[in-house]
Structure 1
Amino acid sequence: YVLSVLKFTYPTLFQGWQTFIGGLLLHVSWKLGWVEINSSSRSDVLKWLPASLLFVGIIYAGSRALSRLAVPVFFILHNVAEVLICGYQKYFWKEKTPPAKICSALFLLAAAGCLPFNDSQFDPDGYFWAVIHFFCVGAYKVLQKLQKPSILSDIDQQYLNYIFSVVLLAFASHPTGDLFSALDFPFLYLYRFHGSCLASGVLGFFLMLSTEKLKGLLAPGQCAAWIFFAKVITAGLSLLLFDMILTSATIGCFLLGGLGEALLVFSEQRNPG
């Protein structure tokens, strides 16, 4: 809503705000004993910095892309990251790839490849930033796997991501022009804008926390199934809340992408880890 309807397209400020709220709430949760954050050595923190840099790339490019693309389109393009991870595991780590996972990768790639040619609301800048986004997501997940086993838990990693993002985005807000351009934003003093920004920060934090809790409680395949279900619900609701022109071709791309992700979930359940 903030990005696509109100058109607050200043990602260093918006994502800086979201990561600040996320980091603050995570710190408070730690002090209240709701989550556990381990004190890490300087070497562990420095090892994780490249991943934190990729995290900034993920949220910055994702913010740019979502300001121009419909949510279902963004999800289809986001899923290409899974194809990159699958390819890396097969050709660099020489892992045996189940047939279901190969089919899943092909379907996801086909859906993302066909979508730009059938999207009646095609936006080149939106697709450009979506490509940057899924490359960063793929690289982040590969780096995460490379660092396992790690002394840093997922919550520790997210805490470092928040801190690094707030600092980097704060420094970047002036060179990018976002800091002063935002002063001319027409809805700057609108209560709906303030409420939406607050809600996005708080809900973003609870989404992250619930996802991490889910990963700790469920098997990878079950967790992937719940995340897939959440994506389907979110994409469906977005069609009701935001304007999008649907054609038979775009619906076909969405269904193909959904089939690809469903196969990926099936593969995770059959071959956990």
Structure 2
Amino acid sequence: MHFKRHVTGLIFCFFYVVSYFTNKYVLSVLKFTYPTLFQGWQTCIGGLLLLVTGKLGWVNISGIPRSAAISWLPGSFLFVGNIYAGSRALSRLPIPFFFTLHNASEVINCLILKLTQRERIPWMKLFSLSLLVISAINLPLCDPQSEFGGYMWALVHLFCVGAYRVFQTHFKSTHLSDLEQQYINYLFSVLLLAFAAHPTGDLFGALEFPFLLSPRFHSGCCASALLGFFLLLATVKLKSGLPLELCGIWIILAKVFSTCLSPLVFNMEINPPSLCCVIFSHVGEALLIYSEKTSQI
């Protein structure tokens, strides 16, 4: 039983690392900085694969009631903001820095719950959140690259991620599974990003992209879409088979693996202060999981 848990976690880590590395390769190395097209392609393929695998009975996607789909649209809107801003930020920031900002979404999550439900925050959880905030605030000041635009998009990304988690956790519906929620996200994303491709200038910009006919670009885009779909399935499998705190541990491990391996794959500038911000962010995330576990005892 424990061996199966480890296998599920390791599979999740593999797809997590490879998926982020593939996206980073297309966005930064090939410099395909047209997120409406890139994310639209990924969500289109993800939606089609969910539809096909659902029809074949490989995943459980039943008929989605119209009322449930409509009530889920705010979550889909936050999902689009998450992937669009995340794509912009990842194209400009190194993966370790991106995760440091991404981890701060837990602060947005707790802040929204504190304002709406007046939840009391234990001191251990407050300390871990403080580490996440301090790391995220100080990282732009310590970053030798000083990529202001990347940090602004990362700020939008972490807000959308935190708000999405709150909505997903407190969305009371017996009609939608995690895969069905993601299927609605995919459909909404494809429609919204398709309409946004022309106003943002991504459509005409992509036509002048120098690697448009390159096999590297085509293989990278295909791999990113497929890996994103497999990561979704691995995430759902992980959450359905493990307690919440163990899922959190595997997610942290996946981020640590990505952080440690990324300097071996991508060129990046990092100094001791920015490295400390990255380390403290991961420590804060680990303490957050520990504080949530101890509060349940």
Q: TM-score, normalised by structure 1?
A: 0.96
Is 1:131 matched up with 2:177? no
Cα distance in 2, alignment partners of residues 198 and 26 from structure 1: 16
Aligned to 2:54: 30
Q: Which has the higher helix share?
A: 2
Letter in 2 for 1:121: Q
Aligned to 1:151: 175
Pairwise CA distance, 1:268 = 3.4
Aligned to 2:235: 211
Pairwise CA distance, 1:167 = 1.1
Cα distance in 1, alignment partners of residues 172 and 123 from structure 2: 25
DSSP 3-state at the match of 1:180: helix
Cα distance in 1, alignment partners of residues 216 and 296 from structure 2: 44
Is 1:119 matched up with 2:143? yes
Cα distance in 2, alignment partners of residues 91 and 54 from structure 1: 19
Cα distance in 2, alignment partners of residues 174 and 246 from structure 1: 36
Structure 2 unaligned runs (5+)? 1-24
The count of corresponding residues between Structure 1 and Structure 2 is 273
Pairwise CA distance, 1:267 = 2.4
Q: TM-score, normalised by structure 2?
A: 0.89
Pairwise CA distance, 1:39 = 1.5
Cα distance in 1, alignment partners of residues 198 and 231 from structure 2: 29
CA offset digits 1:61-82 (Å, max 9, x no partner): 0011111000111101111110
Aligned to 1:86: 110
Aligned to 1:160: 184
Aligned to 2:17: none
Aligned to 1:55: 79
Aligned to 1:190: 214
Question: Contact conserved, 2:36 with 2:84, CA < 8 A, in 1?
Answer: yes
Which deviates the most, 117-126 or 260-269?
260-269
- 40, 44, 48: which one pairs with 1:20? 44
Cα distance in 1, alignment partners of residues 292 and 233 from structure 2: 22
Cα distance in 1, alignment partners of residues 180 and 35 from structure 2: 24
Is 1:101 matched up with 2:125? yes
Question: Contact conserved, 1:220 with 1:272, CA < 8 A, in 2?
Answer: no
Structure 1 unaligned runs (5+)? none
Question: Contact conserved, 2:54 with 2:60, CA < 8 A, in 1?
Answer: yes
Cα distance in 1, alignment partners of residues 123 and 194 from structure 2: 45
Root-mean-square deviation (CA, aligned residues, Å) is 1.4
Which deviates the most, 188-197 or 259-268?
259-268
